[in-house]
Chain A
Amino acid sequence: MKLDPLSIPYRTGKSVLRLAWVLVFLFLGSPLDGLTGAGLLVVAWFVVALAYQLIYYQRFEYELTDDSLDIVSGVVSRRNREIPVRRVQNVDISRNVAQRLLGLAQINLETAGGSSTEASLNCVSEDEARRLQSAIGQLKREEGQTATDDEPDAEPAVEERRLFDITPKELALLGVTGIDLRLLSVVTVVLPVVAPSLRERFADPLVGLAVTAPLAAVVIVAVAAVVSGVLAVTNYYGFQLSRRSEELQYERGLLQRFSGTIPLEKVQTLGISESFIARRLGYASLAVETAGYGPDDAGSQSAVPLADRDRVLSLAASVEAFDDPDFRRPPRRARQRYVVRYGAVAAVAVGAVFAADRLTTLPVAWYWAGVLLPVAPVAAHLKWVNLGYDVQPEYVVLREGFWTRTTTVVPYYRVQTVLNSRTVFQRRRRLATLVVDTAGSSGLTGGQPRALDIDADRAAELREAVADRLQESLDRRQEKRRRERLRSIEPPTTGTA
């Protein structure tokens, strides 16, 4: 099959706009005579891009067979790619404003291999995207069951159960709690473009800097906060999560609509994170991790951006049947370790401020830094209190973090490697850190699931226990699969083609 013909103008327009955007930055502030040249360049580029996209469209073909998605593509160098449906981790559909106007959709397929998106159909029609998404889900289920029913078309539409709809209140809260300071980097790119005009207002550059720097800092933070709040709201506007037999499906976005599937069979870990503010208000968010995404694009994995804590917990429990965690804290000597560590940091800070007071002519009220000293034990206690681990029959649940407390649920059969490590300082207090590594991309929950600073002997014990339970649960799963296969063979069936 071919892409949607409308994808030609869409892709051409996109590439022309990208060039125009670069030119705007290049010619901003320069005299007007460069403008006609730039205009010519854009027109020339438009012709080239259109020709290229025409050929791209001509030479792009895909087909969904019974067990794989085959894509033949490439203008100059040809690529013939075959993705076994069984290996597909996520199927994502995204539609930005332009695509929505044209009735187009981009569909991305993620598998566990490679770091980037494995297959991208840019763009097909909306209906085709939906058809592909559900057809792939359907095929995967059939393969998983080793063909109990051989007529995919005869089967009625899969039952869909709505699990979660975001309320306006939650969305507003998300805008507040979702303030993302990473956007600062974007603002700092924009700033140099705006800054020169500001600086010209002041004759003396030093005075100008002294006035603009704090102002700029305040403005940057404020703008970043507003932008990220707005982004959080537009990203998650109309968020809904539903379950279709063995898949979770979500939809979100105000301007750019995203829709993705998370096959429950491929779930690696669950992450429940509660930011400092959300925790106070009794809210939490849930991330369902698969191995499909690269470490950087964690955005679309969030299963529930923000919801009532109990709701999140029950949703999580419906995905992975873990018990209500009963956390065990690390020994008290771990807390002592943090007191010492934070105390040392505070002492160094006080010392630095004191040195600044003595060595420079600046009047520094250094004793104010002394406030840090009593804060250190409090911080240590908060860090310690939020740590925890719970070893359950099927899962190990780990918790960490004060500002954002993350609870990670790791099924034993998803464990890749187990390790415990002890730094010099940990060895002194007979402590160790247990790391349970999975194939999840752990972008959203940040870092590997670990039990920080638990008793060294206990860590070694747990390391072996987790490895053993991995074997046990794999055996169990294999046994179950074998039985299922036998059962499916017994009545005479035709089997998948």
Chain B
Amino acid sequence: MDANTERGDGEPFDEPLTPAVRPVGAEGDADGAAAGEAIQVEELTGSRRTLDPTIQRVWALQAAVPSLVLGGIAGAAFAFLPVGDAWVGTVVATVVFALAAVLAVLRYRSWAYEVRGDSLYLERGVITDVTTVVPYVRIQHVDASRGPIERAFGLATTVVYTAGSRGADVSIPGLSPERAEDLQARLKQLTIAAEGEDAV
């Protein structure tokens, strides 16, 4: 799966970025004020976006192992019980997996994120629907991570950390590696542009 299947490709994420980290002394400004002015916030923000549809497969696949284990346990249990037989395990595994697949689809549909002017906006959740606003001033650091299954499907996750007590880090899964990197770079620049005081 390549990046072309992502919705809303093109503007504004395709524009080249100025590097967020510049060599020391290049600008001759330690205060960050000039750097803040140099960053054009409008160019970095984007409209509401959804995830790469491939993420549904990743999530479904991630449920495969647990459902097989559950099926195995159920099968073993029913093999020894007077009622039913080992085939119940197969049914259990199938049902659990099917449920997980449905959940994966719903989860994908519930996901949306938006790089706004002063904050990152996230919307997700099937059973509990959560909407999060992360002001750029509060971002501590941004990671791009890729798990083994994600790598196999050519996806990546961007993780945003704040100093908050709980729910402190928010992650955006299902991004193409380029988009994840791009998002990381954008958030980095926006955070620099926001340049608040000490986080805590």
User: Which residues of A come within 8 Å of B, CB atoms?
Assistant: 86-87, 89, 112, 266, 268, 291, 295, 415-424, 427, 435, 437-442, 448, 460, 463-464, 467, 470-471, 474, 477-478, 481
Contacts and interface: CB of A to CB of B under 8 A. Distances in A.
A463 B163 contact: no
B164 A421 contact: no
Interface stretch (B14-22, B122-130, B149-157): B122-130
Contacts of A86: 198
A418 B197 contact: no
A417 B131 contact: no
B118 interface: yes
Q: Most chain-B Cβ atoms within 10 A of its Cβ — which of A86, A291, A441?
A: A291
B185 interface: no
Given A86-B198, A467-B135, 17 more contacts: A89-B200, A295-B165, A417-B134, A417-B168, A421-B129, A421-B130, A424-B127, A435-B167, A437-B162, A437-B165, A437-B166, A437-B168, A441-B165, A442-B165, A442-B166, A474-B196, A474-B197
17 contacts: A112-B163, A415-B135, A416-B138, A417-B138, A417-B168, A421-B129, A422-B129, A437-B162, A437-B168, A439-B163, A439-B164, A439-B200, A441-B165, A467-B135, A470-B137, A471-B118, A471-B137
Nearest to B119: A467
A-B pairs with lowest CB-CB distance, top 6: A416-B164, A437-B164, A291-B200, A419-B132, A112-B200, A439-B163
A417 B167 contact: yes
Contacts of A440: 165
Contacts of B135: 415, 417, 467, 470-471
B137 A417 contact: no
B132 A417 contact: yes
A266 B119 CA distance: 23
Given A268-B200, A424-B127, A474-B197, A418 B132 contact: yes
Contact of B163 (A291, A470, A474): A291
Contact of A421 (B125, B163, B199): B125
A87 to B, nearest CB: 8
B1 interface: no
Nearest to B138: A416
A346 B178 CA distance: 54
A438 to B, nearest CB: 7
A112 B164 CA distance: 11
B159 interface: no
B91 to A, nearest CB: 26
A421 B128 contact: yes
Interface SS of chain A: mixed
B35 interface: no
A419 B197 contact: no
Interface string B61-82: 0000000000000000000000
Contacts of A419: 130-133, 167
A416 B119 CA distance: 11
Contacts, number: 94
Contacts of A441: 165
B137 A474 contact: yes
B80 to A, nearest CB: 24
B170 interface: yes
Interface of B: 118-119, 125, 127-135, 137-138, 162-168, 170, 196-200
B102 to A, nearest CB: 15
A471 to B, nearest CB: 5
B128 A266 contact: no
Contacts of B197: 474, 477-478, 481
A463 B128 contact: no
Contacts of B133: 417-419, 463-464, 467
A440 B162 CA distance: 12
A464 B199 CA distance: 20
Given A266-B200, A417-B162, A448-B166, A423 B127 contact: yes
Contacts of A421: 125, 128-131
A474 B197 CA distance: 8
Nearest to A87: B198
A163 B70 CA distance: 60
Nearest to B118: A471
A292 to B, nearest CB: 9
B32 to A, nearest CB: 12
Given A439-B200, A463-B131, A471-B135, A416 B125 contact: no
A440 B197 CA distance: 17
Nearest to A414: B200
B43 to A, nearest CB: 20
Contact of B162 (A89, A416, A424): A416
Contacts of A471: 118, 135, 137
A439 B132 CA distance: 16
A266 B198 CA distance: 10
A246 to B, nearest CB: 15
A89 B163 CA distance: 14
A89 B127 CA distance: 39
A441 B132 CA distance: 20
Contacts of A438: 164-165
Contacts of A464: 133
A460 to B, nearest CB: 7
Nearest to A470: B135
Given A437-B165, A438-B165, A420 B131 contact: yes
A416 B129 CA distance: 20
B168 A416 contact: yes
Contacts of B119: 467
A337 B137 CA distance: 37
A474 B118 CA distance: 12
Contacts of A448: 165-167
